[in-house]
Structure 1
């Protein structure tokens, strides 16, 4: 049994372009939908089209290079040819912008389901389901419904007709709060000005992201200054992971060559790139592979901090063991940062005062001048103690009852 998606891409904008190709935060709507669908388990995407302009064809090719088959379909007969008897089909409304959790909910095995929301002024662009509910832009139907549509005489709108068949068949209704439309978490992009408003709203609402004093107080504010440029450039999201990984490799090579201060300075720049990756993930539909790549880079950066003095010892002619103050305390510092992250992740919804916690960015920012001016042993002694003090202070403040 396969999971197949039918994505709408036929609506024409007033300026003559396709709604599915509108760009929000540097990516087209249909590419964002494709990433969400792949993460939900979809193995093939059928794109419901009226025509196939060159721009749409190029976009489908880009999606296809990510390892998923993309096929334009113009009629129910075309779709029926792609669907096996026990396949399930996910319907994605033309111009929909939704979060991964909504796709995952619809993709769960079971009977047909429809994402629905309340009938409010914010949801008028969605298809009406009944007197009080409107379609939320996602649904799952069976191959039998596709066969029923293909057998109907005349021409029918594939998306809406399959939706009606699901409603008439008593499909489960998964309710979505209308407030999510007000916050921009779910939206139907009707034109380019609407897309610009969604992008601007996202830039204003995004949090600094993640725990840690270095990231929250220094790195993310710097990244936010360049935020509008970062999110509008598709090349940035494409190449930033490679640049970030390369910078961390350069840190290791510089340390192994004895250039400690240069390695720490590059580590600060690499930490800034890692923060930019985290920032971009708030806007762009990251695939599971991209998320794993970011986690892998973060783990490598953490290991570099723990092993940095040992890498420096490789540069000398005798490869002497580093002093105890560095050899033992650098792993202690890395362990304290790992402890802080574990406490932060276990805190659940009570992640208050997260900016107090120690992180690798703070460590590299403090180590760089220490290595440059020759008091690294003292700094390696201070940093683990400072990290534990920050953790204790965070525990004390985070456990205080919230003011009513």
Structure 2
């Protein structure tokens, strides 16, 4: 049994372009839909089209390079040839922008299902399915419904007719609150000004998030200032992981060459790149892959902090052992940061004051001037104690009862 998607890409905007090709936060709507569908197990996407312009062909080629099969279809007969009796088909409305949780809910195994919401002023752009409900833009149908549509005489709107067949068959209804549409978590992009508003809303809703004083108080605020520039082009998300990885490799290379201060400065830049990756992954469809790459790079940066004095001393011209305060306490600092990470993760959903905890960004920011002005030994002695003090303070504050 395969999971196949039927994605709408036929609606024309007032300026003559396709709605599916409108760009929000540096990616077209149909590419975002394809990435979300791939995350829930879809391997084949049928694109419902009226015409196939060159820019749509180029977009489909980019989707294919991600490992998905893409087939344009114009009628139900074309879709019948792609599905088998046990296959399930996910319908995705033309111009839909929704979160991964909504795709995951509709893709769960079971009988046909429809994502629905209330009939309010916020949901007028969605198709009405009865007196009080509107379609939420996603549905799961079965192969017999496609066969039934193909057998119907005349020309029918493929997407909406399949939706009607699902409604008439008594498909399960998965309800989502209309408030999600006000927040921009689900939307039908009807024109380019709407896309611009959704992009601004998405940028404003990205949380500072994550553990650590350095990231929360310094790195993420800087990234949020340049956020609108980061999301303008899809190339940013494509090349940023490589830039970040090469930055941390450069840190190790500089340390091994004896250039400790230069390595620490590059590490601060690498931390800023990691924060930018987290910022992009918070609302872009590539978030799952970006998170895995970011975690791998962050782990490398954490390990590098613990071994940094050894790299600097043993890689220097004299190849000497590092001073005891640096050699012993740098791993202690890394261990304290790891302890803070574990405590943060164990905090569950009720995390508070997480910005107080120590992190590698804070350590590199404090180490850089110490290495430049030659008091690194003292700083390596202070940082583990400071990290433990931050953890104790966090434990004290986080366990206080919240305001009611």
2:401 is equivalent to residue 394 of structure 1: no
Aligned partners of 2:261 and 2:368 also within 8 Å: yes
Aligned to 1:87: 87
Q: Give TM-score, length-normalised by structure 1.
A: 0.98
Distance 1:185 1:166, change over 3 A: same
Q: CA deviation at 1:86?
A: 1.0
Distance 1:89 1:155, change over 3 A: same
Q: Which moved more, 1:185-194 or 1:284-293?
A: 284-293
Three-state SS of the structure 2 residue aligned to 1:72 is: strand
Aligned partners of 1:8 and 1:95 also within 8 Å: yes
Aligned partners of 2:210 and 2:216 also within 8 Å: yes
Provide the rounded CA distance (Å) in 1 between the counterparts of 2:288 and 2:218.
28
Aligned to 1:16: 16
Unaligned runs of 5+ in 1: none
| Deviations, residues 33-57 of structure 1 (Å, cap 9, x unaligned) | 1110000100111100000011111
Q: CA deviation at 1:287?
A: 4.9
Aligned to 2:298: 298
Provide the rounded CA distance (Å) in 2 between the counterparts of 1:307 and 1:142.
56
Provide the rounded CA distance (Å) in 1 between the counterparts of 2:337 and 2:144.
54
Aligned to 2:286: 286
Q: CA deviation at 1:288?
A: 2.8
2:268 is equivalent to residue 268 of structure 1: yes
Provide the rounded CA distance (Å) in 2 between the counterparts of 1:155 and 1:332.
71
Aligned to 2:336: 336
| Deviations, residues 185-213 of structure 1 (Å, cap 9, x unaligned) | 11111101111111111222222121211
Aligned partners of 1:115 and 1:137 also within 8 Å: yes
Q: CA deviation at 1:321?
A: 2.8
Aligned to 1:348: 348
Provide the rounded CA distance (Å) in 1 between the counterparts of 2:30 and 2:84.
24
Q: CA deviation at 1:172?
A: 1.1
Q: Which moved more, 1:190-199 or 1:161-170?
A: 161-170
Matched pairs, number: 404
2:71 is equivalent to residue 71 of structure 1: yes
Q: Which moved more, 1:340-349 or 1:11-20?
A: 340-349
Q: CA RMSD in A?
A: 1.2
Q: CA deviation at 1:309?
A: 1.5
Provide the rounded CA distance (Å) in 2 between the counterparts of 1:225 and 1:167.
46
Aligned to 2:50: 50
Unaligned runs of 5+ in 2: none
Counterparts of 1:5-404 in structure 2 under 5 Å? 5-317=5-317, 319-404=319-404
Provide the rounded CA distance (Å) in 2 between the counterparts of 1:313 and 1:96.
56
Q: Which moved more, 1:373-382 or 1:95-104?
A: 373-382
Q: Which moved more, 1:199-208 or 1:163-172?
A: 199-208
Provide the rounded CA distance (Å) in 2 between the counterparts of 1:14 and 1:247.
45
| Deviations, residues 130-173 of structure 1 (Å, cap 9, x unaligned) | 22111111111111111111111111111111111111111111
Q: CA deviation at 1:318?
A: 5.5
Q: CA deviation at 1:224?
A: 1.3
Q: Give TM-score, length-normalised by structure 2.
A: 0.98
Provide the rounded CA distance (Å) in 1 between the counterparts of 2:40 and 2:333.
38
Q: CA deviation at 1:324?
A: 2.3
Aligned partners of 2:252 and 2:263 also within 8 Å: yes
Provide the rounded CA distance (Å) in 1 between the counterparts of 2:84 and 2:295.
37
Three-state SS of the structure 2 residue aligned to 1:328 is: helix
Aligned partners of 2:146 and 2:162 also within 8 Å: yes
Aligned partners of 2:354 and 2:394 also within 8 Å: yes
Distance 1:214 1:87, change over 3 A: same
Three-state SS of the structure 1 residue aligned to 2:369 is: helix
| Deviations, residues 97-122 of structure 1 (Å, cap 9, x unaligned) | 00001101111111111111111110
Aligned partners of 1:48 and 1:74 also within 8 Å: yes
Provide the rounded CA distance (Å) in 2 between the counterparts of 1:10 and 1:316.
63
Aligned partners of 2:258 and 2:317 also within 8 Å: no
Q: CA deviation at 1:317?
A: 4.9
Q: CA deviation at 1:273?
A: 0.7
Provide the rounded CA distance (Å) in 2 between the counterparts of 1:69 and 1:281.
24
Provide the rounded CA distance (Å) in 1 between the counterparts of 2:329 and 2:3.
51
Q: CA deviation at 1:316?
A: 3.4
Aligned partners of 1:257 and 1:314 also within 8 Å: no
